[in-house]
Amino acid sequence: MSHPLRIGLTGGIGSGKSTVAAQLVARGAVLVDTDAISRALTAVGGAALPAIAAAFGPQAIGADGALDRDHMRQQVFADPAMRQRLEAILHPMIGAETMRQAEDAGERPIVFDVPLLTESAHWRERVHKVLVVDCREATQVARVMRRSGWAEETVQRVVAQQATRAARRAIADAVIFNEGLTLEQLDTQVQRLWQAWGADRVKQ
């Protein structure tokens, strides 16, 4: 069995994590997006829905047949036990699908996009390098307002719920400070890491 380089990529909302992920993919990395996997598990026909409906009742599923995200958000926001229950259903399923996708990568470097990497020792143990994309909070807020059209306080609430910048940086093998950089300059930093970590020497 081969052991390709496994990079764990994380960053707060609006840090530029997805942008960096795309720049790594452009160099030949295989992206395993845990958020996308989680969404697929809870979309219409998603494999997690029966277990969620059994645990939380039929109200957990919306009229369209997908997870009622607003309903569930309200449930888990107020009650940590509920959150744990939901995570106990989702996390093993996300883990299994993640590993399945990773096996398809062959020798190519794998980038695991994990928003909650900082909070998850489980994840950190499964990657060789942790790459954190960081920027000032004000920049995060401005970017997400522009990208998603959210209200400032909505973005701020999400930022406040996430790991702190310091906590993220503390688990990093490398930090890309995505502040005042053009996309090209950001790409140059990605290229430097790609080389430093030997990912450029992998046969595609």
Beta carbon of residue 103, minimum distance to ligand ADP (angstroms, whole number): 25
Is 17 flagged in the annotation as binding? yes
Unique residue bearing structure tokens 């919306």: 62
- Among positions 108, 129, 143, 168, the unique one binding ligand ADP when judged by CB under 6 A: 143
Please tell me whether residue 15 binds ligand ADP under the rule CB under 6 A.
yes
| 96 Cα distance to chain centroid | 16
- How many CA atoms lie within 13 Å of 7's alpha carbon, on the beta-carbon side? 29
Please tell me whether residue 38 binds ligand ADP under the rule CB under 6 A.
no
- Among positions 40, 181, 193, 202, the unique one binding ligand ADP when judged by CB under 6 A: 181
Please tell me whether residue 19 binds ligand ADP under the rule CB under 6 A.
yes
The tokens describing 80, both together, are 């940590």
Is 16 flagged in the annotation as binding? yes
- Among positions 4, 6, 18, 30, the unique one binding ligand ADP when judged by CB under 6 A: 18
Is 15 flagged in the annotation as binding? yes
Closest residue to ligand ADP, judged by C-beta, is 18
* Positions in 67-96 near ligand ADP (CB under 6 A): none
Residues that bind ligand ADP in the complex, under the rule CB under 6 A: 11, 13-19, 143, 147, 178, 181-183, 186
